[in-house]
Amino acid sequence: MFPHFRTRKNKSLKKAYERGILMATQDRVYNFSAGPSMLPLEVLQRAGSEITNYGGSGMSVMEMSHRSKAFQKIFDDTQAKFRALLNIPENYKILFLQGGASTQFSMLPLNMIGKTGKADYVVTGNFSNIAYKEAKKYGEINLAASSADRNHVYIPAQEQLKLSSDASYFHYCANNTIYGTEWQYVPETGNVPLCCDMSSNIMSRPVDVSKYGIIYAGAQKNLAPSGLTIAIVREDLAGFELPYTPLMMSYKTMIEKDSMYNTPPCWCIYILGLVCDWLVDLGGVTEMEKVKANKAKMLYETLDASRLFIAPAEVGSRSDMNVVFRTQSEELDDKFVKEATAAGFTTLKGHRNVGGMRASIYNAMPTEGVEKLCDFIRSFDKNN
């Protein structure tokens, strides 16, 4: 019943995705949620087709022992596909964890701050601020830069970073989901390991992983359902956790047990594997970078050309994943969200910290969804 997407030609899938045909054939809305967010339709269909009987096993992946051969193969294949897509060097371990990116706000300092007792943090929004405050419990934290002075509408430049040479690590958040800003450069920190929260832009563009000590991401935006957190850990950095670090929060434990110290989030890992297949068929992250840049450009150009709408994030710092915008009045914002929802564009209401609207256009949002949203914005602009 469902087409098996691995049997399709890469090009036709890519075209179908770009033209939004995959959406048009199904009774689905364009879901602009910031996360959990859209998953590729073909991934959902494939998972649906296998939900009661995975690969002839007579059971769902949800029902499978994580110690079974069948699941071990899913796990190993997913790890290998993830490594290949992001070109992750062999001296980095890929961990499939739980607890969300928020748990990494504690796990990171617990494992990393021991070296000098100090770390550098940049605050560019809500989540990097939570990470900064959490890290303060474990050591001396230097605020290397903050964009709070202008309500986080910009990303500090390299020259603005006040770096400490004795920091155990440097932490930043690559894409600020709530404020709609994204780092367009990789900070230069010399010998201090770079640690990065990539929850909301991982797999949307190539990353030179070798520049980083640790990368982590909650899966529920670009990768898989919520419940899975990925950590990419340079192996030599593990094993120096503070003595009171909970067993479950030690990178070393998880590396030694290949993420299976306890039961891992099996279903999410399986879906991640399908998402990786989908990305490979589209041409990988290099291709995805072009597609996502085009979608974001279309949307920002439409907003900038309008009379009513303002996109507050500064040019040069704007996120390609979360496009934040508003009108001059809250009533008009509400009207926009209401009418957009009725037209099939859902979850456009902005985060309560910022107000207005936010269109999260992660990897799985087809180009057609953004084109249609742009049409809707133009007609709303004309009629109000």
Closest separation between CB of residue 103 and ligand PLP, Å?
7
Distance CA 206, CA 209 (A): 9
Distance CA 64, CA 267 (A): 9
**E-only strand ranges, 128-206:** 140-146, 170-173, 175-176, 181-182, 194-197
Closest separation between CB of residue 20 and ligand PLP, Å?
25
Minimum CB distance to ligand PLP smaller for 224 or for 377: 224
Interacting stretch for ligand PLP, rule CB under 6 A, among 49-57, 90-98, 99-107, 371-379?
99-107
Distance CA 160, CA 144 (A): 8
Closest separation between CB of residue 322 and ligand PLP, Å?
8
Minimum CB distance to ligand PLP smaller for 22 or for 174: 174
DSSP assignment of 84-109: HHHT--TTEEEEEE-SHHHHHHHHHH
Among 345, 351, 277, 282, CA closest to 319: 351
Residue 200 found at the interface with ligand PLP (CB under 6 A): yes
Strand partners, 175: 182
- Could you say which of 189, 199, 259, 302 contacts ligand PLP (CB under 6 A)? 199
Minimum CB distance to ligand PLP smaller for 78 or for 201: 201
- Could you say which of 5, 30, 121, 127 contacts ligand PLP (CB under 6 A)? 127
Distance CA 173, CA 198 (A): 6
Q: Is the peptide bond before 156 cis (omega within 30 degrees of 0)?
A: no
Closest separation between CB of residue 173 and ligand PLP, Å?
5
Structure tokens at 225: 């359902």
Nearby residues of 347 by Cβ (< 8 Å), 6 or more positions away: 31, 32, 33, 34, 360
Q: What mask, x for binding ligand PLP by CB under 6 A, covers residues 213 to 242?
A: -----x------------------------
Residue 101 found at the interface with ligand PLP (CB under 6 A): yes
Closest separation between CB of residue 296 and ligand PLP, Å?
17
- The burial of 183, by beta-carbon neighbours within 10 Å (0-12 exposed, 13-18 middle, 19 or more buried), is given as buried
Among 308, 277, 321, 299, CA closest to 368: 299
Closest separation between CB of residue 381 and ligand PLP, Å?
29
Amino acid at position 213, single letter: G
Distance CA 183, CA 176 (A): 9
Interacting stretch for ligand PLP, rule CB under 6 A, among 3-11, 94-102, 262-270, 291-299?
94-102
Minimum CB distance to ligand PLP smaller for 102 or for 346: 102
Size of the site for ligand PLP (CB under 6 A): 11
Residue 380 found at the interface with ligand PLP (CB under 6 A): no
Minimum CB distance to ligand PLP smaller for 248 or for 280: 248
Minimum CB distance to ligand PLP smaller for 36 or for 114: 36
- Could you say which of 18, 42, 120, 197 contacts ligand PLP (CB under 6 A)? 197
Distance CA 236, CA 26 (A): 47
Minimum CB distance to ligand PLP smaller for 46 or for 171: 171
Minimum CB distance to ligand PLP smaller for 217 or for 276: 217
- Could you say which of 88, 145, 173, 359 contacts ligand PLP (CB under 6 A)? 173
- Could you say which of 35, 187, 213, 369 contacts ligand PLP (CB under 6 A)? 35
Distance CA 68, CA 63 (A): 11
What are the φ/ψ torsions at residue 223 (nearest 5 degrees)?
-120, -45
Among 48, 44, 38, 46, CA closest to 369: 38
Contact (Cβ atoms closer than 8 angstroms) between residue 292 and residue 205: yes
DSSP for residue 1: -
Please give the residue whose beta carbon sits closest to ligand PLP in the complex.
100
Closest separation between CB of residue 373 and ligand PLP, Å?
21
Applying CB under 6 A, the residues found at the interface with ligand PLP are 35, 100-102, 127, 173, 177, 197, 199-200, 218
